[in-house]
Structure formats: C-alpha cells, structure tokens
A and B are shown apart, each in its own frame.
Chain A
Amino acid sequence: MIKIFERLTLSLFQFLESTFNQIFGERWNPWYQLGALSFYFFWIVTVTGLYLFIFFDTSISGAFESMEAVTHNQWFAGGIMRSLHRYASDAMAITVTLHLLREFSLGRFRGARWFSWFSGVPLLWLLFASAIGGYWLVWDQLAQYISEITTEWFGWLPFIGDSLARNFVSNQTLSDRFFSLLVFMHIAIPLFLLVGMFIHIKRIKLAKTSPPKGLARGTLAGLILLSLIKPAVSMDKADMSVSVTAIDLDWVYMNVYPLLDSWGYGAVWALLVGLSGFLAVLPWLSPDKKKAMRPAEVNPDNCNGCSWCYQDCPFEAITMIDHEYKKGQMQAQVDPDLCTACGICAGSCPSATPFRHVDELISGIEIPDFSIEHLRQETHKKLDSLSGNQRLVVFGCDHALDTDAVADEQTAVITLPCAGLLPPSFADYISRQPEVDGVMVSGCCSEDCYFRKGTEWTEQRFHRERLPHLRTKAGKQKVKLFWAGPREEEKLHTALTKYRAELAFHKAEETEGAGFD
C-alpha cells in the first residue's frame, strides 16, 4: 500500500517537475527547492514578525487596536509587513507539506536518511503551533474562535484539564498575564522550530537552505504583490460575550478545526497523533531491503589518506582517522549508519583509476555491491558487443532518466547507483579504448541529484574544478556530460544525436588533416 502510494506520488511529481523544467529551467524549478523555499519563507516571517512586534501592544485591551493601527495607519509598511507575515507563513506550510510528500515519493526516508525524515515530523507540530499562536495574538473573532477551540481541545487531555479553557469563557476571566504568555510562546515556539530545522539538516553536508536568487526574488515580489492586492486584515474585535458563528479561517493552517467541531476532540487527537506516529515510524515500516546496498568500505592498503572522499561525502558519513598501520598517515573511516551507499566517495578516490597496473582493481574506498572492478568488468563486457562507426558508452544513473532506452548496437549503457560514483579517470580510460568513439556521463539534473551532490561534484571533477580531475589526452570531445531528470529521455536522444554529429565532424576534420599531411 505504501509502495503504491509512493509510486503514484512519484509519477505525479515527475510529471510536474519535467513540466516546470520547461517553464523555469532546472535552476529555478521550485519543485527542486521546496526545502530551501521553506527556510526562505521562515526568514521572511521572522523579519516581518520582528517589525510587527515593535508596534504590537501585548495586552488584551491593546492587541487588537495596535494591529489595526499597523494595518491601516501605515499600510505601506506595517500593512505590507503584516500581509507578508501571514502569506509567507502560509507559503511555508505549503512548501513544507510538498517537501514531505516529495521526499516520501523519492523514498528518501529509508536507510541512513531516516534521521532527516524522523526529525522533520515534530517540526510539523511546531510549525502549526507557531502559526496558530500568531493568529491568537491579533485578538479578533478568529482569535476568539481559536482560543475557545484550542483550549478545549488541549483541555480534553487529562493532564491539562478544563482550567485552560476557563481562561477564555468570558471577557471578565481574560487576563493580560495569560496574553503575555501567548506572546512569549509565539516567540519561543518559532525559536524551537528554527533549532529543529537545523537538527533536521544536521546530517546533510552543505544543505540547501536558500533558493536560487531568481526564484527568491520572484517569490518575494509575488508575495508583496499579493499583499498589495489583498492585504491581510482582522475580523471584528473579539468579544467573549458574543459567539462567533461564521469564521474566515486560514484553511492552510486551520483545516483541522472544523473537524474538532464535528468529530470531537478525542477523535482529532487520535487522527493527528496517529498520523504523526505513522510518519515517524515510516522508515522502519517500509524498508527497501531489495534495493539497499551495503555501505561503503575502506581498504586501508589502498587508502592514502588524501581525504577527498571525506570532503565529497554528502551525508557526512566519512571521517579521517590515523592509518591502521602506516605511521603518520591518515585513512578514511565510514560510519555505516550514515552511509547511503551512493558511491560518490569511490568516484573521488584517486586509487580508483583503472590505469593502475594491478590484477584486481581495488580502490581505497568503494561500495562492496558496486566496486570499481565490477564496473570495469561490466563495461568491458558491454564494449565487446559494440559495433558501427560511432560507438558510444553511456554511463547512466539509477535515479535519473531511463538510459537503457538509448541502448543499441552502437550505444553501450551502464547504469550506476549515482553518476558521482564514476571516477573521471574511468571515463578517460574507457574513452581511450579502441572500440569506443565517445563517452557520455548522464545523471540527475543539476538541482536535484538523488544523492544530493553527485551531479555537482561530477560536473566539477570533469571540468577540472574539483579533485580528482578528468585528464584525457583523447580530447574533451571524447567525454561529454549530460544531466536530466526522469521523463526527459527525449532530451538524451537529442543530446546523443548532437554528440554523434560532433564526433563525425571531428573525425572528418582529422581525416582531412591527415590527407594534407
């Protein structure tokens, strides 16, 4: 059941992402930036919240009037700030929800990635508590409704009881002290949320916490425009002697409130706690044993302590320790609990070069289920079946587009767990084989590598911006890079056709040059 839902959501996201790639380009595609956008909205909410707090009167009698003054007397500043505060927090709830669904659809909650998933669950509660607490402070009829229902809902819990709800039964029972507590909570809970967000990304190296500038500017401009077209305003002032019958709910955050009225408090507690508990244990409910590969292993005999793998691991699974037996040297150490078996470390290892004169190619660090020796043997097997005069080897990625679709007698396809597993020297080595005219390395699109950094590091290694570099005497045209997401096979076909045309052109040039000689 979980797997079916996972596949369905994945298909939906893949369709949306490839459509948005055509509209926004890969760099600005918002589907690849959902986590970063959530951080971005959080900062907008923080900055606007600080501005509003300057003018906010933290008392029952003054809260509503102070917000009205900010909204109407300085609509050009406070009014826009208030609207941005509300709309950015709504936007954050949407991007956070989509981020959760997308990570689920990609299966990024299993194995070593359980921590980010698990630590994200309490953040949902903190996010909603932050937002609902903010609506409470305005002290309009919406706040009155929220105060009544929320205190009753929490009062349903036996260890809290009904004394909480008694604070809000009539105008006479309201207290400024309780209101001060709410203000404190509206600051404290978002601070906890921020701490939780940092814990959430703790196990991720170079986490994307800010969207590309173009997307950030476009989003902010849009939110400001929305604030001008439809400023956020209050309902009438709260009056506990009059019941609120019709409420302009913020459905993004308060979609559960009508359920409290119709289902009752116990049922909603069961729903939300049950759903949170389900999400929290999902990594263990649905482990992917079939696809799971063993974590990377270090071979001390071949590890020279260069630390390139340590620098490249996107999940901080590698540390450098003293070498087992070589005095004064370091060696890598893998924490299997953190390792996702992407193989990016193997791609960075200088000893993973197939040019080495050894009987069996063992690199300093590699994935036991997909070793460099295994890759060499697989590639050679495929080369034997190549024919024609434009013979290409395409290295694909298990998580990107389906490269097998381009396999034919002239095109050998080898898929890797991640493009980052391919050492540049390996591509160089293959490109020099007499039966090969060119090599193409393909993987996830640049903004959305399944293993986060595989595409980026590979791009940098092959462009000589990151170690290990691609060093080929065969010429740059012998190795090409191509990135695209799933459902973009057509792009690969086009890229291969173009590549073949380039190779034909170079061949013709070489033949012509040889003729003049």
Chain B
Amino acid sequence: MINWKFWIGQALCYSLFLAFIGYFSNSPTYQRFPDNQAMIKLSLRHAGKILGECRERSEAELAQLPPNMRISKICPRERSPLQLDLLINDEMIYSKELAPRGIHGDSLSSVYFRLPVNSGEINLKVRMKDHIDQKNYPYQLEKTLQLSPAQVLVIDFDANEGSFILL
C-alpha cells in the first residue's frame, strides 16, 4: 500500500529545498546605489621622472670596479612619485602622492579610485606632477560635464600624448 504521508512529506521537503535555491539564486535584488547616481573612476598608470642626473664615474671609481663592470656613465634608477589631485566642483576629492612600484622604486606609479557622485552637471579638475621638484602641474584637465544616471566616467592618462583622457 502506498504511504501517502511518506511521499507527501518528501515532496514538501524537496519543494522547500528547491524553493530556497530558486529564490536565493537571484533574489532579492541588491540595490547598490540610488538610480540617480553616476560613477567616476580615476584609473591611471604613469612613470614619474627619474630622480637625479646621470654622471660620469671618476678614474678612481672605475679602477675599483671589476673590468667587466667599468661603465663610465651611471644613471640613477629611482623615479619620482606622482602628485595627483582630483577636484569636483572645486572641492578636493582626491589628493595623493603615488609612490613608484618596484624594489628600487623604478617602476610605474598607479592608482585606481572609484567615487559615486550625483548625476547632473559637474566641474571636473584633475592635475598631476611627475617630479617632486615641479612647482606647477604640467598635466591638467578641467572640464564641465553632464553626467547621466549610472554613467561611468573613467579618467585615464595617455603617457604618449602627455594628457589626461576621459573614457
């Protein structure tokens, strides 16, 4: 004889398990930001200028070196940190000195920074120094933009052109 209680009980348990999976596999919806928000991503990589100048080795210095290493001109490897500022509507949002990577500090400096902002008109200023001795910012961009809701604005830097780019 079929034990209906047995089968109905099992069906109920399976249903609960599957309903749990079915529901939580894509629900409830996670509201990450308000719908009217846009996003600015400051993301760039750039090598700062070499710190120090190349110089010639003296005869005495050369004599101390093994013959296979007697190169007369030596150049420092260490690069300058970058100074990067981001201003939105004249308010300083981001200002940081970005150290170069690498054990000897001779590689690129990089940044990735994400900022949710309200959509609408914004005045954007971004500026960068690539040597600690620079008094002014050789790289600058100022622009007034209309950001639509959910728009992602990426601020990158084109090292070949020597200018900021907006993506």
Interface, chain A (partner B; CB < 8 A): 20, 22-25, 28, 30, 86-87, 90-91, 94, 145, 148, 152, 155, 161-163, 165-166, 169-170, 172, 218-219, 222-223, 225-226, 229-230, 232, 240-252, 257-258, 261
Contact = CB atoms under 8 A, between A and B. Distances in A.
A22 B3 CA distance: 12
A46 B42 CA distance: 40
Interface in B10-68: 10, 13-15, 17-18, 20-22, 24-35, 37-39, 41, 43, 45
B32 A246 contact: yes
Q: Which 3 A-B pairs have the closest CB atoms?
A: A162-B112, A23-B9, A248-B26
Nearest to B116: A243
A71 to B, nearest CB: 14
Contacts of A241: 151-152, 167
A258 B21 contact: no
Nearest to A241: B152
Contact of B43 (A161, A169, A218, A252): A169
Contacts of A240: 152
Contacts of A249: 26, 29-30
Chain A interface mostly helix, strand, loop or mixed?
helix
Interface in B129-159: 150-152, 154, 156
A258 B28 CA distance: 12
A250 B20 CA distance: 11
Given A243-B33, A245-B32, A252 B112 contact: no
Contacts of A250: 24-26
Contacts of A169: 41, 43, 112, 154, 156, 167
Contacts of A163: 45, 110
Contacts of B32: 145, 244-247, 258, 261
Nearest to A28: B10
27 contacts: A23-B6, A23-B10, A23-B13, A87-B21, A94-B17, A145-B32, A152-B112, A161-B101, A163-B45, A163-B110, A169-B43, A169-B154, A169-B167, A170-B41, A226-B18, A232-B25, A232-B26, A240-B152, A241-B152, A242-B151, A242-B152, A243-B39, A245-B34, A246-B29, A248-B26, A258-B30, A258-B32
Given A161-B110, A166-B43, A246-B31, A87 B9 contact: no
A243 B38 contact: yes
Contacts of B101: 161
B114 interface: yes
B112 A90 contact: no
A170 B167 contact: yes
B30 A247 contact: yes
Nearest to A248: B26
A245 B22 contact: no
B18 to A, nearest CB: 5
B122 interface: no
A170 B152 contact: yes
Contacts of B21: 87, 90-91, 94, 226, 252
Contacts of A252: 21, 24-25
Interface string B94-116: 00000001000000001110101
A229 B18 CA distance: 11
B13 A24 contact: yes
Contacts of B154: 169-170
B158 to A, nearest CB: 12
B45 to A, nearest CB: 7
A223 B156 CA distance: 47
A267 B104 CA distance: 31
A110 to B, nearest CB: 30
Nearest to B108: A163
Contacts of B152: 170, 240-243
B110 A243 contact: no
A240 B38 CA distance: 12
Contacts of A257: 30
Contact of B22 (A87, A148, A161, A261): A87
Nearest to A251: B24
Given A225-B18, A242-B151, A243-B151, A248 B27 contact: yes
A222 B167 contact: no
Given A24-B10, A166-B43, A243-B151, A248 B167 contact: no
B96 to A, nearest CB: 12
A60 to B, nearest CB: 16
Contacts of A155: 112
Contacts of B112: 152, 155, 162, 165-166, 169
Contacts of A247: 29-30, 32
